[in-house]
Structure 1
Amino acid sequence: MTALMIDSPWAVGMIVVVALLLFGGTRLAGLGKSAGRAIKEFKEETSGVLGTPQVDQSGRIDQAAQPGPDS
């Protein structure tokens, strides 16, 4: 099995054009939005596991997410 070799800007451009023709701009925008939301949720969940503090929308650290002195 050979790897997909995309080594020129023309190849990338052609792939983008074909994707737009097949799926349309609206569906690709929705796919990008869904991917961004999934990445955001993943980061939020893993930050709790790794012990990094949770920061809310206003930029304040969520005290409930902070580990206590006995942990």
Structure 2
Amino acid sequence: MIHALNILFIGGPEIIFILFIVIMVFGADKIPEIARGLGKGMRQLKDATNDIKHEVTKSAQDSGVMDTDVTKNINEELNKVKDDLEDFTGSVRRKL
């Protein structure tokens, strides 16, 4: 178990060694193309997760599972409590 966690903690020399191996395998001219491809892939993954989240939220609102009026009321009450707490702490700070 401890050895598996050590993989996550990669130091400087290990990163340099990995970069050296990548350059040897793919060549210096292919690295920008690989990085571009990885960037595009990460962007597509992010867009896909945002689309899924949007669709789930939309379907929950349409089916009435997620009641926006209730959440708005809760947020308003929380903001009132937060304002009251800030007023109280402000008066305590002034007295000190």
TM-score of the two chains, using structure 1 as the length reference: 0.54
Q: Secondary structure at the match of 1:15?
A: helix
| Letter of the structure 2 residue corresponding to residue 28 of structure 1 | I
More helix by share: 2
- State whether structure 2 residue 35 is matched by structure 1 residue 32: yes
Number of aligned positions between the proteins? 56
Flag structure 2 segments of 5+ consecutive residues without an equivalent.
Answer: 63-96
Shift of 1:47: 0.8
- How well do the aligned residues superpose, as a CA RMSD in angstroms? 3.1
* Runs of at least 4 residues off by over 6 Å: none
Structure 1 unaligned runs (5+)?
Answer: 53-66
1:28-69 deviation line (CA, Å, top 9, x unaligned): 2111111110111111122111018xxxxxxxxxxxxxx49x
State TM-score, norm by structure 2: 0.43
- The alignment status of 1:48 with 2:51, answered yes or no, reads yes
**Larger relative contact order (CA 8 Å, sep ≥ 6):** 1
